[in-house]
Chains A and B, each alone.
Chain A
Amino acid sequence: MRKILNITLVLFTVLSIISCSDTWDEHYHDGNKGLSYDGSLIDYLKSHEELSDFAQLVTATGFDRELETKTGQFFTLMAPVNGTFDKETYLDMINDGRKEEVIKSFIKNHITRMDVSYSPDAAAKSIRMWNAKIFSMTPDAHIGDATIISDNIKCKNGIIYTLDNSLPFQPNIYEKIEIEHNKWLANHPEAAEEEELISLYTFLSKYNQDSLDVAHSISRDYDENGNPIYVDSVMIRNNSILVGLDAMIYEEDSNYTAIIPSVSAFQERYNEAKSYLNYNPYIDSKNNTNLCDSLQKYFATSFAMSDMFYNMNVNKYPQDSVVSTTYNRLSDWQNHVYYNPFNEDGIFSGYNEKFNCSNGTVYMYDNYPLSVTDQFFKKKEYLCYDLSNLSSETSFTKNIVTDYERFVLLIQNGNNTYTEHPLVTIAPSKPSVSPHVGINMTNNLSATYDIYMVYSPNWILSYPSYEKAYETAMEDSLAYDGGKGDISKINWKIPIQSTKFRALVYERDDAGKYPSSSKSYVLKPTKGDKFETRVTNVVDTLYLGSYTFNHAYYDSNEQSQLLPTGAVLQIQVDVTTKEFNNYQYSRNLYLSKIILVPRVEEETESDQILTVKQR
Chain B
Amino acid sequence: MKTVYKFTYTLAFISAFSISAFAQDVTDDGEQAENVTVVKQDKPKQSYPTIAISGKVVDASTGAPLAGAQIKSYNNNNYTAMSDEDGTFTINVPEFVTSLAVNLDGYNLNRVAINGRKTGITVKLFTDNFIDSYKSKTTAVNTSDAQDFGTSTAISIDNEIHNRLGADVRTIQRSAIPGVGNSMFINGYNSLNLNAQPLIVLDGVIYDMQYDQNMAHTGYFNNLLSAINIDDIEDVKVLKNGTAIYGAKAANGVIVINTKRNKSMATSIDVNISAGLETTPTLPDMMGADEYRMYVSQLLNSTSTKLLQFKFLNSDPNYYYYNMYHNNTDWTDVVYNEAWTQNYGIHVSGGDDVASYNVSVGYTDSQSTLKKNDMDRFNIRFNTDINLIKNLSARFDASYSSVSRNLRDDGLISDFSSAPVSSPSMLALLKAPFLSPYDYATNGERSDFVSDADTYLKEILGNEGALANPLGILTNGDAINKNNFQNMTINVAITPKWQINKNLSLQEHFSYTMQSMNEKYYTPIKGMPDYQVEGMGLVNNSRRVMDSQMNSIFSDTRFDWAIPLGSHRLDVFGGARFISDSFTLADVKGYNTGSDKTPTSDNNYKTAVGDDQDWKSLSYYANVDYNYKEKYYLTGQFSLETSSRFGKEGNNGIGLFGVRWGFFPSLQGSWVLSNEDWFHSNKFVNMLKVNAGFESVGNDAIDNSAALTYMSCANLINDKVTSIGITNIGNPSLSWETTNRFNVGFEGNFFDNRLNVRFNYFTSKTSNLITYSKLAYVAGLEDYCTNEGALKNNGFDVSVVSKLVNMDKFKMELGASLGHYKNKLSSLSSDVNEHVTDLYGGQVISRVGSPVGLFYGYKTDGVFSTTAEANEANLYIVDNVGTKHYFGAGDIKFVNTNPEVDNCIDENDRVVIGNPNPDVYGNIFANFYIGKHLSVNAGFNYCLGNDIYNYQRSILERGSHFYNQTTAVERHWVVEGQETDIMKVVYSDPLGNSRFSDRWIEDGSYFKLKNLTVNYKFNIKNEYIKGLSVWASANNLFTISKYLGSDPEVSCGNGVLCQGIDAGYLTSGRSFMLGLKINL
Asked if A555 is at the interface (CB within 8 A of a chain B CB), the reply is: no
Contact call A118/B976, Cβ cutoff below 8 A: yes
- List residues of B (413-464) whose CB comes within 8 Å of A's CBs: 434, 442-444
A117 CA to B818 CA, complexed, in Å: 53
- Chain A residue nearest to B300 (CB atoms) is A113
- Chain B residue nearest to A12 (CB atoms) is B944
Asked if A17 is at the interface (CB within 8 A of a chain B CB), the reply is: yes
- Encode B993-1010 as 1/0 by CB contact (under 8 A) with A: 000000000000101000
Contact call B976/A119, Cβ cutoff below 8 A: yes
Q: How many residues does chain A have at the interface if contact means C-beta atoms less than 8 Å apart? A: 54
- Chain B residue nearest to A153 (CB atoms) is B975
Asked if A317 is at the interface (CB within 8 A of a chain B CB), the reply is: no
- Chain A residue nearest to B979 (CB atoms) is A34
- Chain A residue nearest to B295 (CB atoms) is A74
Q: Which of A25-33, A448-456, A602-610 contacts B (4 or more CB under 8 A)?
A: A25-33
Contact call A72/B298, Cβ cutoff below 8 A: no
A73 CA to B434 CA, complexed, in Å: 13
Q: A14-B1007, A154-B978 are in contact. Are A72 and B968 (CB under 8 A)?
A: no
Cβ 8 A contact of B975, one of A14, A154, A231, A232: A154
Contact call B944/A13, Cβ cutoff below 8 A: yes
Asked if B871 is at the interface (CB within 8 A of a chain A CB), the reply is: yes
Contact call B889/A122, Cβ cutoff below 8 A: yes
Which residues in B have their C-beta under 8 angstroms from that of A220? 442-443
A119 CA to B975 CA, complexed, in Å: 9
Contact call A30/B974, Cβ cutoff below 8 A: no
A117 CA to B891 CA, complexed, in Å: 13
- List residues of B (935-953) whose CB comes within 8 Å of A's CBs: 942, 944-945
Q: How many residues does chain B have at the interface if contact means C-beta atoms less than 8 Å apart? A: 58
Contact call B868/A119, Cβ cutoff below 8 A: yes
Which residues in A have their C-beta under 8 angstroms from that of B285? 28-29
Contact call B294/A231, Cβ cutoff below 8 A: no
A110 CA to B976 CA, complexed, in Å: 20
Contact call B293/A73, Cβ cutoff below 8 A: yes
Which residues in B have their C-beta under 8 angstroms from that of A7? 818, 920
Which residues in B have their C-beta under 8 angstroms from that of A32? 970-971
Asked if A121 is at the interface (CB within 8 A of a chain B CB), the reply is: yes
Which residues in B have their C-beta under 8 angstroms from that of A253? 306
Contact call A6/B820, Cβ cutoff below 8 A: yes
Asked if A66 is at the interface (CB within 8 A of a chain B CB), the reply is: yes
B416 to chain A minimum Cβ distance, whole angstroms, is: 21
Which residues in B have their C-beta under 8 angstroms from that of A192? none
Contact call B298/A74, Cβ cutoff below 8 A: yes
Q: A13-B1005, A29-B967 are in contact. Are A115 and B301 (CB under 8 A)?
A: yes
Contact call B920/A73, Cβ cutoff below 8 A: no
What total count of A-B pairs have CB within 8 Å? 145
- Chain A residue nearest to B953 (CB atoms) is A27
Contact call A73/B967, Cβ cutoff below 8 A: no
A69 CA to B1041 CA, complexed, in Å: 34
Which residues in A have their C-beta under 8 angstroms from that of B976? 117-119, 151-152
Contact call B796/A132, Cβ cutoff below 8 A: no
Which residues in A have their C-beta under 8 angstroms from that of B868? 119, 121
B891 to chain A minimum Cβ distance, whole angstroms, is: 12
Asked if B1040 is at the interface (CB within 8 A of a chain A CB), the reply is: yes
Which residues in A have their C-beta under 8 angstroms from that of B289? 72
A32 CA to B982 CA, complexed, in Å: 13
Asked if B990 is at the interface (CB within 8 A of a chain A CB), the reply is: no
- Encode A26-50 as 1/0 by CB contact (under 8 A) with B: 0111111110100000000000000
Contact call A31/B308, Cβ cutoff below 8 A: no
Contact call B866/A231, Cβ cutoff below 8 A: no
- Encode A153-191 as 1/0 by CB contact (under 8 A) with B: 110010100000000000000000000000000000000
> Which among A69, A74, A154 has the greatest number of chain B C-beta atoms within 10 A?
A74
Contact call B796/A3, Cβ cutoff below 8 A: yes
- Encode A212-247 as 1/0 by CB contact (under 8 A) with B: 000000111000000000011000000000000000
Q: A28-B284, A74-B298, A117-B889 are in contact. Are A33 and B320 (CB under 8 A)?
A: no
A21 CA to B1043 CA, complexed, in Å: 9
A350 to chain B minimum Cβ distance, whole angstroms, is: 35
A76 to chain B minimum Cβ distance, whole angstroms, is: 9
Asked if B888 is at the interface (CB within 8 A of a chain A CB), the reply is: yes
Asked if B966 is at the interface (CB within 8 A of a chain A CB), the reply is: yes
Asked if B980 is at the interface (CB within 8 A of a chain A CB), the reply is: yes
- List residues of B (954-971) whose CB comes within 8 Å of A's CBs: 966-968, 970-971
Which residues in B have their C-beta under 8 angstroms from that of A231? 320, 442-444
Contact call A218/B442, Cβ cutoff below 8 A: yes
Which residues in A have their C-beta under 8 angstroms from that of B313? 73
- Chain B residue nearest to A108 (CB atoms) is B308
Which residues in A have their C-beta under 8 angstroms from that of B889? 117, 119, 122
Contact call A13/B971, Cβ cutoff below 8 A: no
Asked if B725 is at the interface (CB within 8 A of a chain A CB), the reply is: no
- List residues of A (9-26) whose CB comes within 8 Å of B's CBs: 9-10, 13-14, 17, 20-21, 23-24
Contact call B967/A69, Cβ cutoff below 8 A: no
- Chain B residue nearest to A139 (CB atoms) is B867
Q: A9-B945, A13-B1040, A14-B1007 are in contact. Are A72 and B967 (CB under 8 A)?
A: no
Cβ 8 A contact of A72, one of B293, B300, B301, B979: B293
Asked if B355 is at the interface (CB within 8 A of a chain A CB), the reply is: no
- Chain B residue nearest to A7 (CB atoms) is B818
A250 CA to B945 CA, complexed, in Å: 64
A154 CA to B972 CA, complexed, in Å: 12
A89 CA to B1077 CA, complexed, in Å: 86
Asked if A70 is at the interface (CB within 8 A of a chain B CB), the reply is: yes
> Which among A13, A27, A29, A30 has the greatest number of chain B C-beta atoms within 10 A?
A27
Q: A121-B871, A122-B867 are in contact. Are A232 and B321 (CB under 8 A)?
A: yes
- Encode B116-156 as 1/0 by CB contact (under 8 A) with A: 00000000000000000000000000000000000000000
A23 CA to B871 CA, complexed, in Å: 32
Contact call A65/B315, Cβ cutoff below 8 A: yes
Asked if B559 is at the interface (CB within 8 A of a chain A CB), the reply is: no
A113 CA to B944 CA, complexed, in Å: 47
Contact call A152/B944, Cβ cutoff below 8 A: no
A159 CA to B444 CA, complexed, in Å: 34
Cβ 8 A contact of A132, one of B308, B818, B977, B1040: B308
Contact call A66/B1044, Cβ cutoff below 8 A: no
A122 CA to B444 CA, complexed, in Å: 47
Cβ 8 A contact of B942, one of A13, A69, A120, A219: A13
Contact call A28/B980, Cβ cutoff below 8 A: no
Q: A3-B796, A152-B976 are in contact. Are A72 and B971 (CB under 8 A)?
A: no
Cβ 8 A contact of A113, one of B293, B297, B818, B980: B297
> Which among A20, A130, A132, A152 has the greatest number of chain B C-beta atoms within 10 A?
A20
Which residues in B have their C-beta under 8 angstroms from that of A130? 308
Cβ 8 A contact of A10, one of B321, B818, B871: B818
Which residues in B have their C-beta under 8 angstroms from that of A24? 1044
Which residues in B have their C-beta under 8 angstroms from that of A9? 919-920, 944-945
> Which among B292, B967, B984 has the greatest number of chain A C-beta atoms within 10 A?
B967
Which residues in A have their C-beta under 8 angstroms from that of B919? 6, 9
A219 CA to B301 CA, complexed, in Å: 32
B757 to chain A minimum Cβ distance, whole angstroms, is: 13
A214 CA to B3 CA, complexed, in Å: 76
A219 CA to B443 CA, complexed, in Å: 9
Contact call A28/B966, Cβ cutoff below 8 A: yes
Asked if B909 is at the interface (CB within 8 A of a chain A CB), the reply is: no
Cβ 8 A contact of B297, one of A34, A72, A120, A232: A72
7 contacts between A and B (CB under 8 A): A6-B945, A17-B1040, A72-B434, A73-B297, A73-B315, A118-B975, A231-B443
Q: A73-B313, A159-B975 are in contact. List 14 more A-B contacts (CB 8 A).
A: A6-B919, A9-B920, A9-B945, A21-B1040, A31-B968, A34-B978, A117-B975, A120-B867, A121-B868, A131-B308, A151-B976, A152-B977, A152-B978, A253-B306
List residues of chain B with CB under 8 Å of any chain A CB.
Answer: 284-285, 289-294, 297-298, 300-301, 306, 308, 313, 315, 320-321, 434, 442-444, 796, 798, 818, 820, 866-868, 871, 888-890, 919-920, 942, 944-945, 966-968, 970-971, 973-980, 984, 1005, 1007, 1040-1042, 1044
